[in-house]
Amino acid sequence: MPEDYTLQEVLSDADAYYAAGDARGAIEVLFQGWDQFETGAADSAGEAIRLALGRICYSYWVKRDFETGRQITAMVVNAALERARRTVEPEFAAVYAEAAAATGTSPFPLQRIFRHQNLVRLFRRVAAEIAGDVAECGCARGLSFMELCLAFGRDHPDWAGEGFHVFDSFEGLSEPGEKDLGLDQSDAGAAQIARNMVPGNFAVAFDLVRENVHRRFPRVELHRGWIPNAFSAVAGRSFRFVHLDVDLYQPTLDSLDYFFPRLAVGGVIITDDYNWPGARTAFLEFCARHRLQLQATDTSQAFVQKGSDAVKPNSV
């Protein structure tokens, strides 16, 4: 590739390779562009190249060619990690690529992979020792939930989704309240969070998510509705692991209020979005009120374990 290739030329060459049926060639061109424009930073060239890579991965989900999608997504993830000079456990990289391909989710932003690796690592440690159901509140297209399922499925080959629950409005975020405001504007991530904090954001059609999840794990229970109303469906259950990813104060607090009393001893509730003011305040308030020891990860999550035998923080 010539040194003075423009971004436009990179993108249109990649399109031409893809149109000719050579997705790997397209990906190679895009990564050459990535190297030329040093797109590790959140600049517009980087964004355009990551979008183009994400679109190629997504196209296999659209075609229902999940196996090729898995391979192509794994290739993209590994090449991006190499450029970031970061690694994840190969087993998790495979789970991440497969979950992204199975749910039609772009593998970017790359930093998500480190956060989800911590989630799955903690989940596997808890699931190996504690019995009970598993829930995720806030699934969007189902990426993190699919990772939990795939990781559990690797350890339990005959399992078809029994005891796993998803809760989501499937109408996106609810209305932010007072405690969701107060972003630290000096924080580089604040603008991104503010852009995302919009009622209805992350809405994904229920049927689409159900199809994504049930294709692999037909016994998973998907509960459609606003939190906490949707929880009545699991009133009698006991949980070993609950993943909260609803971003905002009220649904995070409602989820903690509901699931903590139903958590088995040794069970864990973890929240994503510990860098969002609402989720963070809810977790802090809940733990202070119940005198619980909260553990924060270095990937913007926080978790609490019921009982005395603490699991070590996953950031070590």
Ligand X SMILES: C[S@@+](CC[C@H](N)C(=O)[O-])C[C@H]1O[C@@H](n2cnc3c(N)ncnc32)[C@H](O)[C@@H]1O
| Least distance in angstroms from the C-beta of 208 to ligand X | 12
| Least distance in angstroms from the C-beta of 141 to ligand X | 6
Which is nearer to ligand X, 196 or 315 (by Cβ)?
196
| Least distance in angstroms from the C-beta of 1 to ligand X | 34
Which is nearer to ligand X, 11 or 77 (by Cβ)?
77
| Least distance in angstroms from the C-beta of 180 to ligand X | 11
Locus of tokens 């294709």: 215
Which is nearer to ligand X, 98 or 168 (by Cβ)?
168
Which is nearer to ligand X, 199 or 218 (by Cβ)?
199
CA atoms within 13 A on the CB side of 91: 11
Which is nearer to ligand X, 13 or 147 (by Cβ)?
147
From residue 23, how far is each of 26, 53, 78, 116 by CA, in Å? Answer: 5, 10, 16, 27
Which is nearer to ligand X, 49 or 209 (by Cβ)?
209
| Least distance in angstroms from the C-beta of 168 to ligand X | 5
Binding residues vs ligand X (CB under 6 A): 138-141, 143-144, 168-169, 172-174, 202-203, 226-227, 245-248, 251
| Least distance in angstroms from the C-beta of 195 to ligand X | 13
In this chain, which residue has its C-beta nearest to ligand X? 138
Which is nearer to ligand X, 243 or 262 (by Cβ)?
243
| Least distance in angstroms from the C-beta of 35 to ligand X | 29
